[in-house]
Amino acid sequence: MSMVVCQICGPKEGEWQCSVCKRVICTDHAVPTKQGVFCTDDAPQKNNQAQAQAKKTGQTSSAKGLLSLFITLLALTIGLALIVFIGQSFIDAAASQSPVVEPFANAMKSGGILIIIGMGALTALIGVAWLVARRSRV
């Protein structure tokens, strides 16, 4: 007479069947849940791991979002600085020829510098937020 034994531990009688791997398993290796009976290898504790993994991935993607935002802002700031710098040289050239343009040129210069400083500060802030988000993912 052959008895169906647990396919995990061997000698014990298998009374259950895992819904995932279909192995016959003993009471010790069976994990009955609302979703069905699982062996200890396929038991829903793996779902918790999957949830933890998803949480981790979520944090990673938020860090990735911050990184892309940081790169976008950095590119914008550099682009803006270039535009202001190049525009400034044109305005300076015009101002040197006509004194009427000079106050306008100065206003443009200080306005452009203010915008660049603001953008730079925002970029640095996003960069720090990204570093923090990256560090919290352990």
Q: Quick one: which segment of 40-48, 53-61, 98-106, 111-119 binds Zn ion (CB under 5 A)?
A: 40-48
Confirm or reject binding of residue 21 to Zn ion (CB under 5 A). Answer: yes
11, with CB counted inside 10 A (0-12, 13-18, 19+), is exposed
Q: Quick one: which segment of 11-19, 53-61, 67-75, 90-98 binds Zn ion (CB under 5 A)?
A: 11-19
Confirm or reject binding of residue 125 to Zn ion (CB under 5 A). Answer: no
Confirm or reject binding of residue 24 to Zn ion (CB under 5 A). Answer: no
**Helix 102-136, helix 45-97: angle, nearest 10:** 170
What CA–CA distance (Å, rounded) separates 87 from 73? 20
Among 5, 20, 122, 131, binds Zn ion (CB under 5 A): 20
Binding footprint of Zn ion, residue count (CB under 5 A):
12
Among 17, 24, 30, 39, binds Zn ion (CB under 5 A): 39
131, with CB counted inside 10 A (0-12, 13-18, 19+), is middle
Confirm or reject binding of residue 26 to Zn ion (CB under 5 A). Answer: yes
What CA–CA distance (Å, rounded) separates 55 from 50? 9
Confirm or reject binding of residue 42 to Zn ion (CB under 5 A). Answer: yes
Q: Which of residues 82-101 bind Zn ion (CB under 5 A)?
A: none
Q: What is the amino acid identity at position 32?
A: P
Tell which phi-psi region holds residue 36, choosing left (phi > 0), alpha (psi between -120 and 50) or beta. left
Confirm or reject binding of residue 29 to Zn ion (CB under 5 A). Answer: yes
Binding site for Zn ion (CB under 5 A): 6, 8-9, 12, 18, 20-21, 26, 28-29, 39, 42
